Amino acid sequence: MALGEFLAELDKVAADAAATFESVLDSDSLEAARVEFLGAKQGRLKAVQKQMGQVDKADRPAAGKRLNAVKGQVEAAFEQARDRLGAGKSNSPKAGAEQFDPTLPGRSIRQGHLHPITQTIETLKEIMAGLGFSIAEGPEIEDEWHNFEALNIPLVHPARDPLDNFYLSVAGVGKGALLLRSQTSTVQIRIMEKMPPPVRIITLGRVYRPDTADATHYPMFHQMEGLLVDSHVTMADLKSVLRMFATSYLGADVHIRFRPSFFPFTEPSVEVDYHWNDQWIEFGGAGMVDPNVLQAVGYDPEQVTGFAFGLGIERLCMRRHNITDIREFYRNDVRFLHQF
C-alpha cells in the first residue's frame, strides 16, 4: 500500500471525526461517536492502524507518526465535545453561551426572619418594661431545689413524679437531681437568692414537660414569669398588672377572668383565662407569693409581700394572631412562618 493512500485514508477519518464531534448533541451521540472513531476493536482509527502492515516498510515511520498525530486530534475533539456537553447540559452546541440573558430580572434572595415566638418574646419584654419590670435570666437545666423545694413543692408532691418531668441521668452538681425546668418559677428563686427586696422582674424562656402534643399543648413551650416583691404588695396589684398587660398585648377588647386555683408557691392562687372563639382558654397561673417561699430565700414575710405569675407565651401569641393549633409553631413549615 502506498504511503499517499494511507495518509488520505487517515485524513478522511480525521475530517469525519472533527465534523462528528462538533455536532454531537447529547451524551448518547457522543458515546456513539467515540466508539465509531476511537473504539478499541471496531473503531475507524483502529481499522486504519491495521493497514499499517501493508504500507511499504520504508514509509512506515512516517505513516506511524501521522497516525499518532491524527489519533491525538481525534481524542482532543472528543474531549472538547464532552466538556461542552458537561458544561452546558444542553443539546445545542452554543447553548452554554445563550443561557445567560442579562436582560432577565435577577432572582431575589429570600430573607429569613425571627421565629414568631421570638418576635412575641421581644414584644412582651417591651410591654413589661413599660410597666417597670426588668429582665432576668435563669438556666434551662435546673436542680430540684430551684424547680421544687424552694417553691414549697415537697419531696412527696406528685408534681415531682419522674413521669411528669424530664430528669437527667447525669449526676447533679446543684442541690438535688438535675432536670429540664418544668416552669420558669425557678428564676423567682434564683433572683431572690441573689438580691434583697424590692424585686420587679420578668423572665422569658423555654420549659419542658412530657405532655402529649395537641392543639394547646406541646412538650417544649415558653413561659413569661413575673415577680414583684415589695412592702404592701396586694392581689389588687397583681390583677391590675395582668389586666394592663393583657389589654396591651391582646387589645383593649380582650376579656380575661381570674379563677381561684392552687399552686404550692402562691397563696391565694388563681388561673387566668382569655375569651376566644366562644371559649375560655387558660393562659397562665398567678398568685401572692407564699410566705414559705419568701422564707426559703431569706426574705422576711413580715416585712415584704409579693405576687408572681407564669404565662404561656405560645397561648398568648395564638390568641393575638388567631392561630388555633400550637403545633404550627414547631412544624418548621416556611409557608406558616413567613406570615409573621
**323 makes contact with ligand FA5 (CB under 6 A):** no
How would you classify residue 282: left for phi > 0, otherwise alpha for psi between -120 and 50, otherwise beta?
Answer: beta
**282 makes contact with ligand FA5 (CB under 6 A):** yes
Which of 286, 293, 304, 318 is the binder for ligand FA5 (CB under 6 A)? Answer: 286
Beta bridge partners of 143: 178
Q: Which stretch binds ligand FA5 (CB under 6 A): 22-30, 49-57, 93-101, 277-285?
A: 277-285
Q: Kindly tell me which of 82 and 217 has the beta carbon lying closer to ligand FA5.
A: 217
Binding mask 195-224 for ligand FA5 (x = CB under 6 A): --------------x-x-----xx--x-x-
| 311, 205 Cβ separation under 8 angstroms | no
| 224, 272 Cβ separation under 8 angstroms | no
Cα–Cα distance, 156 to 178 (Å, whole number): 17
Q: Which stretch binds ligand FA5 (CB under 6 A): 23-31, 32-40, 60-68, 283-291?
A: 283-291
Outline where DSSP puts E strands in the chain. Answer: 134-135, 141-143, 166-167, 178-180, 199-208, 220-230, 256-263, 266-276, 279-289, 305-312
* Residue found under cell 437527667: 168
Least distance to ligand FA5, CB of residue 86, Å = 54
Least distance to ligand FA5, CB of residue 218, Å = 4
Which of 249, 263, 274, 299 is the binder for ligand FA5 (CB under 6 A)? Answer: 263
| Residues 127-186 close enough to bind ligand FA5 by CB under 6 A | 183, 185
Residue 207 three-state SS: strand
Least distance to ligand FA5, CB of residue 163, Å = 15
Cα–Cα distance, 136 to 203 (Å, whole number): 5
> Which residue's CB comes closest to ligand FA5?
312
The residue count of the chain comes to 340
Least distance to ligand FA5, CB of residue 112, Å = 25
Least distance to ligand FA5, CB of residue 28, Å = 59
Quick one: which of 286, 246, 299, 258 has its CA closest to 131?
A: 246
Binding stretches for ligand FA5 (CB under 6 A) = 183, 185, 209, 211, 217-218, 221, 223, 263, 266, 269, 282-287, 308-310, 312, 314-315, 326
